[in-house]
Each structure stands twice: as structure tokens, then as C-alpha cells.
Amino acid sequence: MGKRLLVLHGPNLNLLGEREGREGGRLADLDAALKARAGELDLALTVVQSNHEGVLLDTLHAERSRVDGVVVSPASLFGSYPLRDALEAIGLPALEVYLTDLGERESVVADACVATLEGEGFDSYLGALARFASGDLTGEHSEDEDEAEEDEAEEDEEALVGPVKTLGRKGKAPATALVVAPAHALAGPVGGSRKTLGRKVEAPAVAASPVKTLGRKAKEARDEPSEDFLSRALVSKKIADRLSGRLSPAELAAWARSQWLEVQRGGPAESGQRELLEETLQRLTLSNVPPSRLSEPELVDLMTRMDR
């Protein structure tokens, strides 16, 4: 089975189509259409409807480690800041859907979602499933797309460099390789001479400019922690970015969640510090949720623990 999605139906959607007496337009029909399309797209769905905001929040919290994304139909909760904060805190890609057009209403929940699909009836939901299945929300590509990208990269490289031709008998290591270079490269190498057939033409020598670094900036560049390896230094840097305003609370929480999930999957982490890093990432993941929001002094305290 492919991606796992959580589908949330907001208040009053349990009465969908009942007042109009429409056949095929009720919530049960919508859920059946969703499950049928999910089967076609190799998706697994968990579907929850509630008229209570708190139930939707609790569901997001409980399912956050079991799903890869969220399709949320806030209905009348389009102005819910708690729902928006919960979506930001769990750090999963989310799509907001509405059966009808929002019109003049302004959605707060949209701030925590990748996109909003509205006014298409059941197709608003079905379009959201297709977006997740395509992989563009999670940076995934099919094998065909990956092969196409590799072929395109090889074509670009050949256009720039040209084919490599060898002289001599086939199967024997060539003594010379001729490379067709771009026109601008034929002006000759910097700081040397260019050889031609016939007269020797000297290219003007150009002195190579020394690379200058400025004290502290050069040291900071050397000491910058790798984004590809979870370490105390990297966590400390992210907290510092949050305190300085370079990261928003939601961005820090989303980053912490993605790192925590990677550690759970066995991703690389600083030797001997995995338990401390997991605990810190869990706190940062919930740092944007009101009940567990971290103050600046608490964030500084976490940085201090990372620097010990």
C-alpha cells in the first residue's frame, strides 16, 4: 500500500445532502467515492467526521505518526486558529477542501495547508487524493519520472561538454582524448597558454585572484553543522534561528517533527546522543501548540543542553 492519508470532515457534514433529499450526494456516498478512488491510486485512508473541534484536534494528534498527509474539510471551522495550529504542529502536508466556494469568507486554516480546493463538490476531495498520489506534495517521483530526469541531465551534459572521442585501436586505452568544449571555453585556460596547430599563440596571462576570508565569517562557514546529519549542533542552530526570527514557531515544529520521524526510521544521529535528541525533538514538535508552547527562556535552556 502506498501513502496513508487522514481525511477529516468538519461540523454538519454528517447531514450532507439529507435536507435536499439527493440520492448519491450524502456523506456515506462521499466516503464511498473516496475509498474507491483511494484504491485506484494505491492510497490508504483513515476517515473521521466530527461536529466538535476538539475531536478533530485529538484525531490529528493521535494519527500524526501513522499517516503521511491530511485532507481536511473544515466546513464552518474555516476560521479555527486551534485547527490551524494543530496542522502546523504535526508538520505533515495538508490540503484544505470545500464542497462549495468560500466566496468572501477567508480561511485561517489555509495558512497551514499547501493548497485549497473548493467549489467542485466531491471532486474537491478526489482532486486532493490525486495531488497526494502524484508525489508532488512530498517530493516523491515515480521511477519513470526519475529515469526521465536522469536522461535529461545526461543530454544537458553532452550538450555542454560534447562526446569524448579516442584515437587508436579499439579496446586499447587511448593516448589522447579530444573534448569538444563550449565556445566560451575555447578562449584558453586562465593563466596559461593556448596551443594551436601551426604558430604558437600566447594567451594573455591573467593572475588568479586569491580567495579572501574574513575571520569570524570563515570560521562560521567551517563550523556550520550539516543538514544531512542530526546532531546537537544542528538542533542548537535551529533553535537559534527560531529565537532570531529566521524560523517561525511553525517552521521549527515542522522541522523537528520531520527529524524525529527520520530518527524513528533509523536515520543517522550523533553517537551517544540519540536519546537526548529524540526527547528534544519531541518537545520542539509540540512547541507551537498552546498547551505545550515553549517560551524563549525554555528554548534557551534547550540550547544550553545541546551545548553541554
Distance CA 34, CA 95 (A): 15
pLDDT for position 209: 46
pLDDT for position 144: 53
pLDDT over threshold 80, residue 177: no
Listed in order, the ranges of the chain carrying CATH 3.40.50.9100 are: 4-134
Write the pLDDT tens digit of every residue in 135-171.
877 555 445 555 555 565 555 444 444 444 444 444 4
pLDDT over threshold 90, residue 278: no
Highest average pLDDT, of 76-90, 189-203, 228-242, 271-285, comes from 76-90
pLDDT over threshold 80, residue 308: no
pLDDT for position 304: 86
pLDDT for position 1: 56
pLDDT over threshold 80, residue 195: no
Output 220 or 252, whichever has higher pLDDT: 252
Handedness of CA 251, 254, 260, 265 (dihedral sign): negative
Output 214 or 43, whichever has higher pLDDT: 43
pLDDT for position 221: 47
pLDDT for position 75: 94
pLDDT over threshold 60, residue 175: no
Percent of the chain whose pLDDT exceeds 90: 38
Write the pLDDT tens digit of every residue in 68-108.
999 999 999 999 999 999 999 999 999 999 999 998 899 99
Span 272-276, average pLDDT: 86
Output 52 or 285, whichever has higher pLDDT: 52
Span 10-18, average pLDDT: 92
Question: What average pLDDT does the chain have?
Answer: 77
Q: Which CATH class is domain 4-134?
A: alpha beta
Write the pLDDT tens digit of every residue in 24-71.
789 999 999 999 999 999 999 999 999 999 999 999 999 999 999 999
